[in-house]
């Protein structure tokens, strides 16, 4: 019995998945988490620090780490990388001006060794706002082609306000992680 | 008996003397041998003396060039450079037997020489370095495929970013204005995101709801908005007055601005100085209804609960404060040009003028 098998068995028993929500400030990370959890989203303050939410999803326990995205907080992101199974990178699709910033921060994240095995879901949030860029337009700017060989990733449009696309996104990331870690027999 | 004793003593002393002699000879021999075997280059003192001499000589040659006592030519520079290099090699060879301090000191001396050489060279041919690197890039790009890897990274982003960027400049908003007064009515607002960018000395009224508001690079501006249903993001603002009702407000890199806020969450500032906050006080026809729809009809009392992300301490942040009640203003939309009923135009203009006067007085 190899070490990997042991780890897989332990994880399978817990059926726990650790997700890291990251992205620039004003992307809607906290709103997405609260929306998924069915909480009120009308008075969410910009996150100073981080929030942890546990929720059940398709028989798994998701531990979602929602980390503040303000510039001053980004240097602390690396404290949350350990043991992350999947990350959700949230983008404000209406904030075209900072899309390049967004790409640079994402690329910084993707070369992190501790996140090397994590699945990546990119949520192009705020699709309900007229003038928001479509996921395919954002994909072009993000230049993900250089990472596509080494990582499981997907980009999906969503709206935290209407809830569109959130379930699809979480569905994909959870099943991708599950197929990687857990043995379905 | 005595005689025999004497002779014996003589014999012994002779033997001792002979022994002594052979011992001395052996020592001498060993010394000679060791001195023959020893590498003269391994003598620390010898190395240091020679090093000092050569370093001193190079230093004077470089100084001569610096002070232009000698003619600076490519050849002289090259010869000095090669001498510095050979000196450096000597130091490198000697490091294994040199004491740590001497090795460090010698390396320092060589580095200093090298630096002075580089300085001389750039003075002599400032463009040489540039041409050289350009040549190298060209040469490397042609034959070697692996060295081309960074190239596509550098080149293509421009067009790639260019195309998705295009909608930003054509999207709804007001950009690149100076010294104007602009009133945007609800019917002219798209209801989606709205951008105010690169404005100087502009007064703007957004008399209607928008979903998201981006304010970027504004200076000496007055910006009054109706309800923002989502978030307002202000980045790089200077000496501005803004009145905004919104669900969320983020202010980055703003200096000396006055914010009249009604917000459903804590407003935040980051990298800001001189931010003053006050409660939202804007009036234009239809605003109360719009605020009600946006769930901002009544005061939320969060306008002064500002979080400064650059000041995570128990003491109050020095970067923002509350505008004293006496200095607070109320903003009434000016009866505007053309789109609004012009009926009491003279009166309206007079009122507008009065307001402006009042404003400027207050600001003083």
Are B248 and B263 in contact by the 8 Å Cβ rule? The answer is: yes
Tell me if B270 and A129 make a contact (CB, 8 A cut-off).
Answer: no
Kindly provide the ipTM of the predicted complex, given to two decimals: 0.87
**B312 vs B91: CA distance, rounded Å:** 52
pLDDT band at B140 (very low <50, low <70, confident <90, very high): very low
Q: Establish whether A162 is an annotated binding residue.
A: no
The per-residue DSSP string of B297-330 comes to SS--S-TT--EETT--SSSPPTTEEEPPGGG---
Residue B147 sits at φ, ψ, to 5 deg, of -75, -10
Among B164, B196, B312, B319, pick the best mutation site for testing chain A contact (most A Cβ within 10 A). B164
Which residues touch A121 (CB under 8 Å, ≥6 apart)? Answer: A86, A87, A88, A89, A153, A154, A155, A156, A169, A170, A172, A173
Return the H-helix or E-strand segment holding B164. helix B157-170
pTM for the complete prediction? 0.64
pLDDT at B136 exceeding the cut of 70: no
β pairing state of A50-57 and A60-67? antiparallel
Rounded CA gap, B221 and B35, in Å?
87
Q: Is A143 annotated as a binding residue?
A: no
Name residue A124's beta-bridge partners. Answer: A91, A157
pLDDT value at A142 more than 80: yes
Q: Is the pLDDT of residue B161 over 80?
A: no
pLDDT tens by residue, B215-254 = 999 999 999 999 999 999 999 999 999 999 999 999 999 9
* pLDDT tens readout for residues B17-65: 999 999 999 988 888 877 666 665 567 788 888 888 888 888 888 888 7
pLDDT recorded at residue B111: 87
What would the pLDDT profile of B265-322 be if each residue is shown by its tens digit?
Answer: 999 999 999 999 999 999 999 999 999 999 999 999 999 999 998 887 778 889 999 9
Q: Is A70 a catalytic residue?
A: yes
pLDDT at B125: 60
A181 pLDDT band (50/70/90 cuts)? Answer: confident
Residue A141 to residue B160, Cβ atoms within 8 A:
yes
A79 is in an annotated binding site: no
- Chain B: nearest CA to A97, how far in angstroms? 7
Would you state the structure tokens that stand for residue B82, as one six-digit string?
Answer: 């090669």
Q: What share of chain B is helix, strand, coil (3-state, %, to 5)?
A: 50, 25, 25
Which two tokens mark A161?
């306000």
* Residue B196 dihedral angles phi and psi, to the nearest 5°: -115, 115
Distance from CA of A178 to the nearest CA of B (A): 34
Residue B150: pLDDT over 50: no
Q: Are B359 and B332 in contact (CB under 8 A)?
A: no
CB count in 10 Å sphere of residue A113: 7
Mean pLDDT score, A27-37: 95
B243-265 pLDDT, tens digit per residue, is 999 999 999 999 999 999 999 99
Interface of B with A (CB under 8 A): 157, 160-161, 163-165, 167-168, 171-172, 190-193, 195, 197, 211-212, 214, 216, 230-231, 233, 247-248, 250, 252, 264-266, 268, 270-271, 295, 307, 309-310, 312
Cβ B178 vs Cβ B217: under 8 Å: no
CA distance A3 to chain B (A): 38
């Amino acid at each position: 019995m190899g070490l990997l098998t042991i780890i897989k068995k332990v994880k399978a028993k817990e059926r726990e998945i650790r997700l890291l929500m990251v992205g620039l400030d004003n992307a809607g990370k906290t709103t997405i988490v609260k929306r998924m959890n069915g909480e009120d989203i009308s008075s969410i303050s910009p996150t100073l620090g981080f929030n942890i939410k546990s929720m059940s999803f398709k028989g798994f326990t998701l531990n979602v780490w929602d980390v503040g995205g303000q510039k001053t907080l980004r240097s602390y992101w690396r404290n949350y990388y350990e043991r992350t199974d999947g990350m959700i990178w949230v983008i404000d699709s209406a904030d075209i001006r900072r899309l390049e910033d967004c790409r640079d921060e994402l690329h910084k994240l993707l070369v992190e060794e501790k996140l090397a095995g994590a699945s990546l879901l990119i949520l192009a949030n705020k699709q309900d706002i007229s003038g928001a860029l479509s996921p395919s337009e954002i994909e072009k700017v993000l230049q993900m082609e250089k990472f596509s060989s080494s990582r499981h990733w997907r980009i999906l449009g969503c709206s935290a306000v209407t809830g569109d696309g959130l379930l699809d996104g979480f569905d994909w990331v959870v099943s991708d992680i599950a197929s990687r870690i857990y043995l379905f027999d | 008996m005595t005689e025999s004793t004497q002779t014996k003593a003589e014999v012994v002393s002779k033997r001792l003397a002979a022994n002594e002699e052979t011992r001395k000879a052996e020592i001498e021999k060993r010394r000679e041998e060791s001195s023959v075997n020893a590498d003269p280059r391994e003598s620390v003192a010898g190395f240091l003396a020679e090093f000092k001499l050569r370093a001193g000589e190079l230093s004077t040659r470089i100084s001569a060039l610096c002070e232009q006592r000698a003619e600076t030519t490519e050849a002289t520079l090259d010869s000095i450079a090669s001498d510095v290099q050979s000196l450096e090699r000597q130091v490198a060879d000697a490091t294994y037997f040199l004491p740590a301090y001497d090795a460090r000191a010698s390396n320092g001396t060589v580095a200093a020489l090298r630096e002075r050489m580089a300085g001389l060279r750039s003075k002599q041919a400032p463009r040489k370095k540039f041409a050289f690197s350009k040549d190298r890039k060209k040469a490397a790009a042609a034959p070697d495929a692996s060295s081309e890897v960074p190239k596509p990274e550098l080149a293509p982003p421009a067009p790639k970013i260019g195309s998705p960027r295009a909608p930003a400049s054509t999207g709804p908003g007001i950009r690149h204005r100076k010294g104007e007064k602009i009133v945007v009515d609800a019917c002219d607002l798209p209801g989606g995101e709205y951008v105010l960018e690169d404005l100087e000395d502009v007064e703007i009224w957004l008399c209607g709801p928008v979903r998201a508001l981006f304010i970027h690079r504004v200076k000496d501006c007055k910006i009054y908005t109706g309800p923002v249903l989502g978030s307002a993001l202000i980045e790089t603002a200077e000496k501005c007055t803004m009145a905004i009702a919104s669900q969320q407000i983020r202010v980055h890199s703003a200096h000396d601005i006055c914010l009249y806020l009604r917000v459903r969450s804590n407003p935040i500032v980051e990298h800001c100085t001189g931010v003053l906050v006050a409660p939202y006080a804007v009036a234009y026809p239809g605003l109360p209804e719009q605020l009600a729809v946006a769930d901002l009809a009544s005061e939320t009392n969060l306008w002064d609960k500002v979080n400064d992300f650059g000041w995570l301490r128990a003491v109050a942040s020095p970067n923002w404060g509350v505008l004293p009640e006496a200095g607070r203003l109320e903003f009434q939309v000016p009866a505007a040009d053309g789109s609004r009923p012009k009926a009491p135009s003279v009166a309206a203009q007079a009122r507008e003028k009065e307001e402006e006067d009042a404003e400027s007085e207050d600001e003083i």
